[in-house]
Amino acid sequence: MKTMADARKLAVKALTKIERDKAYSNIVINSFLKETALTKEDKALFSALVYGVLDRKITLDWVLDGFMKKPVSKTSPFTLNVLRTGLYQIMYMDKIPHSAAVNEAVKNIKQSKESKNAAFVNAVLRAAARNEIKLPEGNTPEEMSIKYSAPLWMTESFTDDYGTENAENLLMKSLEPPKVVLRANTVKITRGELAGKLRENGISAQEGEMPDSLTVEKGIDVSGNELYKKGLFYVQDYASQKAVSLLAPKSGSRVLDLCAAPGGKSFTAACLMENKGEIISCDLYEQRVGLIRSSAERLGLGIIKPAVSDAAVFNPELGLFDYVICDVPCSGLGVIRRKPELKYKTVNDFSHLEDIQYAILCNASEYLKDTGRILYSTCTLRSAENEKLVIRFKKEYNEFETVYEHTFLPHTDNTDGFYCALLEKR
């Protein structure tokens, strides 16, 4: 059986892999947990260290720079991640003694190919443990970048779009663990019945803010849950549920979900339609279409017809629709607490997105019947991908009217960061 020290060692390996391969944290963490035998406590420590370091990497590097003669940027990735995990424990994990954090970090580096750096790691972490660490207290973009571990371009973007107070609240909220929100598959079960069955399984779930939702306060192994396997629920944040409920697809209607994977909005639409009508759920890649198909089968939502299709290219064979869901690829700044690695991209990584989003929205309009509705949505908090893009679209397609528009902010709406606009063809 693995020990706590091994949990720390695995965390360093996982962090190095995420950084080197530009991989998604949740995928790397899940693969490490599947391949390695760890106790429940070790799994918790491993996950907390990986997510914690990713959440606080800019802050940790700023602090480390103050105790190092050479800059962080000149330190090898493995040694740097040993230092980060050690410092994270010192700064943010009250139940772990500073001495244990330092000693285990030194042990980890001694057992690696970079053992020559053991004295260096020991000196830096002992200095950090001895001294009081003070972070900037102001709220300029530069200070918030260090304090909340966000790149400067992001703190500037949030400040420009939402003002300093909202920007700080957004960044503060991004470091809190997200809640798990379930939606009852109302084709099979009511919310109340699902809550009862979860309780029988030892899972406490509270009624959520949307009519068919439940909030789980403590961790739940969703994919391993028998009720999940039976198709009684799926995971979907409040903002997504709210957006589809505003679209309000009627029973028996035709719906096109242009960028559907992994399928949550299609599933909610199918439930609202009482599994009557037709939903064409598209994605560009067969593998992702397969995910939609298997989930729809698990949920017993037979009106969902998964299809491989390019969201930006019109396909006349699909026909016309009463409703089009247009949840476009985006920079993801509304879900950085779920995918903290997104914080370490540059703004240039997103520069191509607005043209893709616009092309998809324009294409969506070609599929719509007269008096039909488009739901345009993103899980980001950049006005360039949200309000400004919709304004641009309406200038060219003036037959569309905005009947609802809202930016969901985590600290005010109690949701992920999310934008949606409901556009009606007149």
Relative to beta strand 254-257, strand 321-327 is: parallel
Q: Which tokens in the block code for residue 280?
A: 């064409």
What's the one-letter identity of residue 182?
L
Residues 6+ apart with CB under 8 A from 126: 102
Whether 401 and 349 have beta carbons less than 8 Å apart is answered as no
The CA-atom distances, in angstroms, between 67 and each of 15, 84, 119, 121, 184 are 22, 13, 14, 11, 51
**229-255 pLDDT, tens digit each:** 999 999 999 999 999 999 999 999 999
What end-to-end distance do the CA atoms of the chain give, in Å?
65
Instruction: Give exposure, 138-160, as e/b (b: 16+ Cβ within 10 Å).
Output: ebebeebbbbbbbeeebbbbbbe
- Packing angle between helix 4-21 and helix 25-35, nearest 10 degrees? 140
Q: Which of 259, 271, 379, 420 is catalytic?
A: 379
Cis preceding-peptide flag for 262 (omega within 30 of 0): yes
Integer Cα distance of 206 and 217 in angstroms: 8
pLDDT tens per residue across all 426 residues of the chain:
344 458 999 999 999 999 999 888 888 988 888 888 888 888 889 999 999 999 999 999 999 999 999 889 899 999 999 999 999 999 999 999 999 999 999 999 999 999 999 999 999 999 999 999 999 999 999 999 999 999 999 999 999 999 999 999 999 999 998 889 999 999 999 999 999 999 998 898 999 989 999 999 776 788 889 999 999 999 999 999 999 999 999 999 999 999 999 999 999 999 999 999 999 999 999 999 999 999 999 999 999 999 999 999 999 999 999 999 999 999 999 999 999 999 999 988 998 999 999 999 999 999 999 999 999 999 999 999 999 999 999 999 999 999 999 999 999 999 999 999 999 998
String of DSSP letters for 124-161: HHHHHHHSPP----S-SHHHHHHHTT--HHHHHHHHHH
In the chain, which segments carry CATH 3.30.70.1170? 177-235
Cα of 328 vs its chain's centroid, Å: 15
In the chain, which segments carry CATH 1.10.940.10? 4-130
379 is catalytic: yes
In the chain, which segments carry CATH 3.40.50.150? 238-425
Q: Which tokens in the block code for residue 276?
A: 């009557």
| Coil vs helix vs strand at 330 | coil
Q: Which tokens in the block code for residue 101?
A: 């954090």
Q: Minimal CA–CA distance to 417: which of 368, 367, 382, 375?
A: 382
Integer Cα distance of 199 and 320 in angstroms: 44
| pLDDT for position 127 | 96
CATH class held by domain 238-425: alpha beta
Whether 361 and 299 have beta carbons less than 8 Å apart is answered as no
Integer Cα distance of 370 and 375 in angstroms: 15
Q: Regarding the domain with residue range 177-235, which homologous superfamily does it belong to in the CATH classification?
A: Sun protein; domain 3 (3.30.70.1170)
Q: Minimal CA–CA distance to 210: which of 404, 414, 417?
A: 414
Integer Cα distance of 384 and 363 in angstroms: 19
| pLDDT for position 220 | 79
| pLDDT for position 6 | 87
CA–CA–CA angle 70, 55, 326 (5° rounding): 130
The CA-atom distances, in angstroms, between 309 and each of 28, 195, 327, 373 are 28, 37, 14, 20
Integer Cα distance of 301 and 96 in angstroms: 48
| pLDDT for position 22 | 86
Q: Does domain 4-130 have CATH number 1.20.1740.10?
A: no
Strands in 304-308's sheet, in edge-to-edge order, are 304-308, 278-283, 254-257, 321-327, 368-378, 418-425, 400-408
Integer Cα distance of 278 and 260 in angstroms: 14
Residue with tokens 């488009």: 374
Integer Cα distance of 354 and 378 in angstroms: 11
